[in-house]
Structure 1
Amino acid sequence: MTSTTDVPDPQADREVRHANFRAYYDAEAADRAHRPIPPWRTAAQEEFLVLLATERRRTVLEIGCGPGIDGAAIEAAGFEYTGTDLSPGMVEVARAAGLDARVASATELPFGDDAFDAAWSMSTLMHLDDAELDAALGEITRVLVPGGLFAVGMWGAQELTVGPLAAPDEGYGPPRYFHRRTDQTVHERLGEHGTVESWWTRPSRPGSSHRYQYAVVRTVGADD
C-alpha cells in the first residue's frame, strides 16, 4: 500500500519552485538591470509597439517585468505601463527606475477585468507547469479588453523538457524550473485563448533544438 507521504503534492512542489525562483531572481536583480536585451527581441518589441500605436492602444501590462528594461522602453514610447513580477527584488529595481511595478503571480493578477489594452511577457511563462500556464493565460485574457493584444515569448525545445537547470547559474541561487514546450504545443495553448496573429521561432544558436518561441495573440472581441 502506498502511504500518503509517497503521493506527490503538486501545490507543495510549486511552493518550493516559487521560493527558489524568488531567491534566484532577487539575487540577480541588480545585475540583470545592466544586461542588454538581444537585438532580435528589441526588434520584436518595437514592431509590437508600432502595432499598439496604430490601433491607438494606451495601457500595457507586463507579466514578468524583471528590473524594468522592457518597461522603460514601453513607457518611453508613450504608453501607460504597469509591470508585475514574482520577485520582490526585481520589482524593487523596477520601481527605483520610476516604473509602476508590483509583486504578483502570473496566475493571480491583481487587476479587474478588461483593465488593459495589451500585455507583454518575455521569458517568463516557460517557468510554469501546465496547470499554471493555463491559469496564467486565462488571467491575461481576463484583464485584457476584448480584442486586446498579447505578445509572449518563451524558451522551448523540439522535444518537451521539464525540470530545473542542472546547477545554479552564476551563483545567484537555487536552480530554476523550466518547462520547455514544443512549438506545436505552445501554438495550440495560445490559440485556446485567442487568435495567433504572429508567430516565429528562433534557435538559441545554429542547429540547436533550444529555441525562442514568440507570438502575438488577439483576444476574442466583443462581437466574436
Structure 2
Amino acid sequence: MGNYERDLTTYYDRQAEVRDARTQDPQREAKRSEFIEHLKATRRHDLLEIGCGTGVDGLAFKAAGIRYTGVDLSEASVRIARHKQLEASVASARELPFADETFDAAWTMSTLLHVANADLYGVLTEIMRVLKPGSPLAVGLWSGSDSEGINAADDQEPQRFFSRRSDETLLSLFEPHGTIRDFSTWEHGQDPGHYQYFIIYKP
C-alpha cells in the first residue's frame, strides 16, 4: 500500500461515523436511481462498488434487488457497512480480491480522485478485469484544474491525496478503457469544483 493509501485509510477510519450521518447530494442520488433502473432494464444483477464507505449507496442497490458487493480501504467504514447486512470487505482497487469477469456492473463515487494520474491506468485495468464484457462502470469525481497533491483544507492529520482533473483530462484518461456515455456535471455548494459523472462500458 502506498503512503497516500495509508493516509487515506487512517483519515476515513477516523471519519467513518461522521460521514455515515452526512446528508447525501440529491443529484447524485438521482443518478444512482437512474443507474439502478438501467441495471434492472438490462438484467444486470451483480454489482461491485469501489470505495463503498459505510454502505449508503449499497443499501439502495440492495433494496432494488441487486446483488451487492463493496470494497473500501477503511476497515471502520467496512465494519459499519457490514452492520447494515451488506457484503463488504477491505481491499484496494489496485488489487481486487475477485476472479476475472465476476461482476456485470460497478459503481464508484468520489473515490478515483484519490488515485494519481500515473497510477490510474493500472487501477482502471484492474477494475475492468473483474467486470464482464459490456459491463457499465458508473464514475463520479470532483473536478479541478489538473492538480495533484494533499488537500491542505483537511483540518486533521493525515491529509488526503487528491487528483482534481478537468473534464477534458478526465475523459482522455478513461477513454482507453471503454466507451463513455452520459457525461454530465453539476455544481455543489460544498466544493469549489463541479461534480463529474459518467458511465464507461467495458469493451
TM range (shorter): over 0.9
Q: Which amino acid aligns with 1:185?
A: T
> Which ranges of structure 1 fall in alignment gaps of 5 or more residues?
1-13
1:134-170 alpha-carbon deviations (Å, 9 max, x no partner): 112111111110000100001111x21211111433x
Structure-1 residue corresponding to 2:40: 53
What do you get for the CA RMSD once the two structures are aligned?
A: 1.6
Residue range with higher mean Cα deviation, 197-206 or 90-99: 197-206
Q: Indicate which of 73, 83, 88 corresponds to 1:96.
A: 83
Residue range with higher mean Cα deviation, 57-66 or 86-95: 86-95
After superposition, residues 191-210 of structure 1 pair within 5 angstroms as 191-205=175-189, 210=193
If the length of structure 2 is used for normalisation, what is the TM-score? 0.95
After superposition, residues 150-189 of structure 1 pair within 5 angstroms as 150-157=137-144, 159-169=145-155, 171=156, 173-189=157-173
**C-alpha contact (below 8 Å) 2:146/2:169 kept by paired residues:** no
In structure 2, distance between residues paired with 1:30 and 1:210: 25
Look up the SS of the partner of 1:106 in the other structure.
coil
**C-alpha contact (below 8 Å) 2:138/2:200 kept by paired residues:** yes
Look up the SS of the partner of 1:214 in the other structure.
strand
Structure-2 residue corresponding to 1:35: 22
Specify the structure having the higher radius of gyration (Cα): 1
Taking every aligned residue pair, what percent have the same amino acid on both sides? 44
Q: Indicate which of 137, 140, 165 corresponds to 2:124.
A: 137
1:83-137 alpha-carbon deviations (Å, 9 max, x no partner): 0001111111111111100011011111111100100000000001113211121
Structure-2 residue corresponding to 1:114: 101
In structure 2, distance between residues paired with 1:133 and 1:204: 25
In structure 2, distance between residues paired with 1:130 and 1:185: 10
In structure 2, distance between residues paired with 1:166 and 1:204: 20
Q: Which runs of 4+ in 1 moved over 4 A?
A: none
1:45-93 alpha-carbon deviations (Å, 9 max, x no partner): 0001100100000000000000000001111110000000011111111
Look up the SS of the partner of 2:133 in the other structure.
strand
After superposition, residues 211-222 of structure 1 pair within 5 angstroms as 211-220=194-203
In structure 2, distance between residues paired with 1:190 and 1:150: 11
In structure 1, distance between residues paired with 2:176 and 2:183: 15
> Which ranges of structure 2 fall in alignment gaps of 5 or more residues?
none
